[in-house]
Structure 1
Amino acid sequence: MGARSENRKMVGKLVVVVAGMFAFGYALIPIYKHICEVTGINVLAIGEKEVPGTSRAAANTQVDFSRTITVEFDANARGPWEFKPATRSVQVHPGELATVMYEFRNVQDRRMSAQAIPSYAPRQAASHFNKLECFCFQQYTLEPGESKQWPVAFVIDPKLSKDVKTITLSYTFFEVGGKMPAPGAVTVGAAS
């Protein structure tokens, strides 16, 4: 009976530990929110509060209105399909959210899976060009003759060097798992 008594005590202790861990985990969320609110660490929690007499939508205070950057869009296709930006360029302020569309059309008589790879000029802009949404994040399948439009939503980091006035975002659209034309082959619908 001594071993059974010991086992019951151990099970009782383990149940108390599990209950304590659950209670701690449950209480952690409000504790975290309170600590963030007091210290000002979580600025998103502050934005969730409604302040009487103010608008619900807060202005983005990280936009640098003192300068404007021209973003040019380029498209290159490795294969027989059409791929181009809907807009050749936009002017944005660093920190400002911008969205542009790219247009795709499979001109082949077969289904095609493809993906786009981005590149940037000047090279230093790459680490300051933050894409929030981009068709380049995944592969797409297009049926014969199918056309699509996909967005690129981006923000240029205000820490970008002030001497950069123009950024070129270029995409190369290529078929995944299919036959690719030889380098230097003529591409249909490639934008310059």
Structure 2
Amino acid sequence: MTTPVQPQQEPQTRGLNRQMLGKLVVIACVMFGFGYALIPVYKQICEVMGINVLTQKDGTVAWDKNTQVDTTRSITVEFDGNAQGPWRFRPVVSSMQVHPGELVTVLYEVVNTQGRTVNAQAIPSYAPQSATPHFKKVECFCFQQQTLKPHEARQMPVVFFLDPALPKEVKTITLSYTFFEIAGLSQAQTPAVQ
């Protein structure tokens, strides 16, 4: 069996191949350099146009602080819990200092002291009444009914902020919940939780 003889490349073809390789290397280097130089150009264009500015002139990162928070004043928020049923119900902390616009989380604890499953609902109230439209809850256990198994203990969050438009004369707000059993719902009638 004979091996096919490869024709030798002509010197002219080799020279053309080397030229093409050189051109391709130069093009690849220029493309890399262009892509690398595009980053500072993009940042400058965005800064001039005010688009997608992550770093401010003073070197701070734009998301370091929430500009909606009014740090010039603090409001005392007091927490209260009233139980109307077979459980213990109370806030984990009795009060805290909150800046208007600041997102805050507070926990309430509930313990079912009965040997049976109970369904309950929490109803909030606010004092003074003028603070009610300015107390904004993002997440709250009061948004839905709670089903507590026998002797179950649970911590339930309230995530809120105070609207910066809260009247200046309001210095203290009391958030009070009344946690009561929902009568008439038996275990068989309770909707399944998914």
Match of residue 183, structure 2, among 177, 180, 185: 177
- 2:146 counterpart letter in structure 1: Y
Q: Find the aligned partners of 1:51 and 1:160 in 2 and give their Cα distance.
A: 30
Q: Find the aligned partners of 2:62 and 2:169 in 1 and give their Cα distance.
A: 36
Superposed, 1:119-138 pairs within 5 Å as: 119-138=125-144
Superposed, 1:140-155 pairs within 5 Å as: 140-155=146-161
Q: What does residue 118 of structure 1 align with? A: 124
- 1:162 counterpart letter in structure 2: K
Deviation at 1:89, TM superposition (A): 0.2
Match of residue 54, structure 2, among 47, 51, 54: 51
Superposed, 1:1-192 pairs within 5 Å as: 49=52, 51=54, 55=61, 57-178=63-184
Q: Find the aligned partners of 2:70 and 2:54 in 1 and give their Cα distance.
A: 26
Q: Find the aligned partners of 2:61 and 2:156 in 1 and give their Cα distance.
A: 32
TM-score, with normalisation over the residues of structure 2? 0.64
> 5+ unaligned residues in a row in structure 1: which ranges?
1-45, 180-192
CA RMSD after TM alignment: 2.2
CA gap of 1:178–1:77, structure 2 versus 1, over 3 A, is farther
Runs of 4 or more above 6 Å deviation: none
Aligned residue pairs, count: 134
> 5+ unaligned residues in a row in structure 2: which ranges?
1-50, 186-194
- 1:176 counterpart letter in structure 2: I
